[in-house]
Amino acid sequence: MWRFTLTLAALVSIAGFLGGCDKSKQSDGPEKIKIGFIVKQAEEPWFQNEWKFADRAAEKYGFEVIKIAAPDGEKVLTAIDNLGAQGAKGFIICTPDVRLGPAIVARAKANDLKLFSVDDRFEGSDGKPMDVHHMGISARKIGNMVGKSIADEMGKRGWKASETAAMGIGVVELDTSRERLEGATESLVAAGFPKNQIYIGPIRGLAEVSTAIDAANILLTQHTDAKNWLVFGVNDESVLGGIRALEGRGIDAKHTIGVGIGGSTGKVDWEKENPTGFFAAVLISPKRHGYETAEYMYKWIAEGIEPPKTTFTDGVLIKRDTYKQVMKEQELE
């Protein structure tokens, strides 16, 4: 009996010692800080990548990312309440509708959550950008890159402006989308392309390939006479939608120059054996938008360091022959 008790005591103390050394077992340590990351289109590679890089920051600093897909307003508000109930301290969000801004701010406050918007900037009831910490892309500048790349390629192919039309597919209510389309338009016009041959196709709802195909088809029934088409848009998805709609009307790669924004969705066309109308894309950085926003939020919560009010990120032009190398460098494969 005596020996049994001694052995038991030894076992208990060894177990206790081992338990104490086990860093992954956090039961005695402080609970990890929880940060929400809500996105409007979880199936889009851009947002998958943002999540992936937010997780990288979480691994580095030892916090937890709660990832939530919220494609409409109701889901957004429920998600914020859930984050509050789970004891999260803040969240990053790309909202499905920028006009939800005031409601999101109020709900974050009610749940005592810090708030950071990414990609799509909240719009107040006055239609102006809201005073919320934000990271987006340099939309007009990136739009300019798109327009210039299209104009250069059009010049190389020797297309006549009189036989060519341009379509810009985007979400008109969304500032970052409108600025991207305006930027592309500006550069096309600066290169001598007639403004009245540039048609804007508004997407209803979220910018996906399917909604973009619908927008492009409406536009194409109204403008039937162009031999060649230039395609730009809010993202890769919208440009691919334009290209698919053109293909449906027998207008193929030889008569299409499409330049996307994003890179990860559009590269699928470059993996196909035969080129499509998807000529190039401006690769933007989900690493910065995922990792840095999560890092900002963590430091804000844990160390009281307030993030910069606004950050706007750049892009780099990629094509069928360069994308693999550039994307590898940016840890996007």
Is 291 among the residues that bind ligand GLA (CB under 6 A)?
Answer: no
Between 208 and 295, whose beta carbon lies closer to ligand GLA? 208
Strand (E) positions, the chain? 34-39, 64-69, 90-93, 114-118, 134-137, 164-170, 198-202, 228-233, 256-262, 278-283, 310-313, 316-319
Other Cβ atoms less than 10 A from the Cβ of 315: the count is 20
Q: Return the residue of 95, 185, 228, 235 that touches ligand GLA, per CB under 6 A.
A: 235
Rounded Cα distance between 263 and 266, Å, is 5
> Least distance in Å: CB of 255 to ligand GLA?
26
Tell me the number of residues near ligand GLA by CB under 6 A.
14
Between 120 and 292, whose beta carbon lies closer to ligand GLA? 120
> Least distance in Å: CB of 195 to ligand GLA?
25
Residue 90 contacts residue 112 (beta carbons within 8 Å): no
Is 262 among the residues that bind ligand GLA (CB under 6 A)?
Answer: yes
What secondary structure, in 3-state letters, does 268-315 show?
Answer: HHHCCCCCCCEEEEEECCHHHHHHHHHHHHHHHHHHCCCCCCEEEECC
Is 176 among the residues that bind ligand GLA (CB under 6 A)?
Answer: yes
> Least distance in Å: CB of 55 to ligand GLA?
19
> Least distance in Å: CB of 94 to ligand GLA?
6
| Residue ranges in 20-49 that form contacts with ligand GLA under rule CB under 6 A | 44, 46
Query: CA dist 16 to 9, 11, 25, 60, 114, Å?
Result: 10, 8, 12, 28, 38
Burial degree of 160 (CB within 10 A; 0-12, 13-18, 19+): exposed
* Mask for 179-218, x = binds ligand GLA (CB under 6 A): ----------------------------x-----------
> Least distance in Å: CB of 87 to ligand GLA?
28
∠ CA 239-242-243 to the nearest 5 degrees?
A: 90
Is 261 among the residues that bind ligand GLA (CB under 6 A)?
Answer: yes
Q: Return the residue of 33, 57, 137, 198 that touches ligand GLA, per CB under 6 A.
A: 137
Is 147 among the residues that bind ligand GLA (CB under 6 A)?
Answer: no
Instruction: From 116, 23, 17, select the one nearest 62 (Cα to Cα).
Output: 23
Is 234 among the residues that bind ligand GLA (CB under 6 A)?
Answer: yes
Residues that bind ligand GLA (CB under 6 A): 44, 46, 94, 119-120, 136-137, 176, 207, 234-235, 261-262, 284
